[in-house]
Amino acid sequence: MSALRKAGTGRNETSGGTAGDTAKIAVRNLTKVFGDAVDEAVALARDGVGRSEVQRRTGSTVAVYDVSFDIEPGELFVIMGLSGSGKSTLVRLLNRLIEPTSGTIDVDGRDLGSLDDAELRDLRNRHIAMVFQKFALLPHRTVRQNAEYGLQIRGTDPAERRAKAEWALEQVGLAERADAYPGQLSGGMQQRVGLARALASDTDVLLMDEPYSALDPLIRRDMQKLLVRLQKDLRKTIVFITHDLNEAMLLGDRILLLKDGRLVQVGTGPEILESPADDYVAEFVSDVDRSRVLTAADVIREPRITVRLDENPADVLVRLGQAEATGAYVLDDDRRILGVIRDDQLGYAAGREETSIDPAVLVEEYRTTEPDRPLIDLLHRVGRNPVPLGVVENGRLTGVVPRGAVLAALSTHADAHGLDPDDDGHRNRSDRNEVA
């Protein structure tokens, strides 16, 4: 089950612990109050008084309260919440554009609170770049000059910054438009220039505050794909803010859910879907398209039975019966699929007292998938075969996806639908032929 995206399960219990050694960004007990009545507001928040009530009683706003989490190197970490939940405040705290009321932020193990002004400037120039929703492009400078801008501020020499800007424009697919002016570009292209500027700065962290919310859906999808590709290719740590849960689920390795400045849950999309922390989250995720979020790896099972060619057909037939299966994958020593053997073929071979399985009788009655395929792509592949859908990674069978598991995962009320999540989709042959 090496493919499981859930490998990171358990990483979300960071609050209260010491800052993780391996974390790119470690946030501990971070609180930000806007206004003068700081102590009073914090005391009320500690007693569990909600933000609007605190505001009414003190005139101060608890924008972020007691938030702790770790972001791993190379992770695409999404911060998600409704308008006013504190997302922008949190991301601005991460690069110290605003000062926390209390709590700490470590980047690469360095406490930001201990940095002086010059070190902070260096941090923003070299380590953490920020992309905003409305990127501040300079209208009278070309796309290339805009992409170079961060480097220019840093004092990088012209030849080097030009080379880096052109590389960055190449990454976002805008190399051809380097001499255009921002006003000549569409909104999506302008956003890509903003992204190129951040990339040219060659920082290892990118903070992106709702960069795509002003884009229309098709362009937005392109930008999402671009971001996923860049993260994979460039191994950046990306903190991506959105109020769109579907976008969060699509992009995030993990998602942090904020509500009224408080952390409600941190986890992978599938974790949040499968075990929402409370009713608020459950309500929130109820209209997420589970078929696009959950993947084969989320519903993978051990196959009930697999077989090798040197096994005795009569013995295999008994095991098949015990597994309540009508067929089994036949694997070689490297777990590569040689084919499928059906019970009727085994019965025939057993009757002739054969001592091993004849490779010539294996059938191709199976379908396979890669572990990261969303369930929506699997719906037409599960069932209708003597063996469940095979999950294949690097040519090897790592598990199976029974039809019942897919259907159960797609239904939040599996019980109500009378589905058995352990139904392997093993059906009897007459059923299969009927459908064929």
Ligand X SMILES: Nc1ncnc2c1ncn2[C@@H]1O[C@H](COP(=O)(O)OP(=O)(O)OP(=O)(O)O)[C@@H](O)[C@H]1O
| CB-closest chain residue to Mg ion | 88
Stretch that binds ligand X, among 8-16, 81-89, 287-295, 338-346 (CB under 6 A): 81-89
Smallest separation (angstroms) from Mg ion to the CB of 286: 24
Residues paired with 197 in a beta bridge: none
Sites for ligand X among residues 31-50 (CB under 6 A): 34
Smallest separation (angstroms) from Mg ion to the CB of 88: 3
Residue 84 or residue 187: which is nearer to ligand X going by CB?
Answer: 84
Rule CB under 6 A: is residue 203 a binding residue for ligand X?
no
Binding mask 78-107 for Mg ion (x = CB under 5 A): ----------x-------------------
Rule CB under 6 A: is residue 96 a binding residue for ligand X?
no
Cα 221 from Cα 412, distance rounded (Å): 27
Rule CB under 6 A: is residue 87 a binding residue for ligand X?
yes
Rule CB under 6 A: is residue 242 a binding residue for ligand X?
no
Rule CB under 6 A: is residue 89 a binding residue for ligand X?
yes
Stretch that binds ligand X, among 85-93, 189-197, 327-335, 416-424 (CB under 6 A): 85-93
Stretch that binds ligand X, among 77-85, 111-119, 173-181, 347-355 (CB under 6 A): 77-85
- For residue 341, give the nearest of 313, 383, 378 by alpha carbon: 313
Stretch that binds ligand X, among 79-87, 275-283, 325-333, 349-357 (CB under 6 A): 79-87
Instruction: Please pick, from the candidates 8, 50, 73, 84, the single residue that binds ligand X as defined by CB under 6 A.
Output: 84
Cα 243 from Cα 370, distance rounded (Å): 30
Number of residues that bind Mg ion (CB under 5 A): 1
Rule CB under 6 A: is residue 390 a binding residue for ligand X?
no
- For residue 80, give the nearest of 187, 185, 213 by alpha carbon: 213
Which does residue 89 bind out of ligand X, Mg ion, none, counting CB within 5 to 8 angstroms by kind? ligand X
Sites for ligand X among residues 124-143 (CB under 6 A): none
- For residue 320, give the nearest of 424, 391, 229 by alpha carbon: 424
- Residues forming contacts to ligand X in the complex (CB under 6 A) are 34, 61, 63, 81, 83-89, 243
Positions in the binding site for Mg ion (CB under 5 A): 88
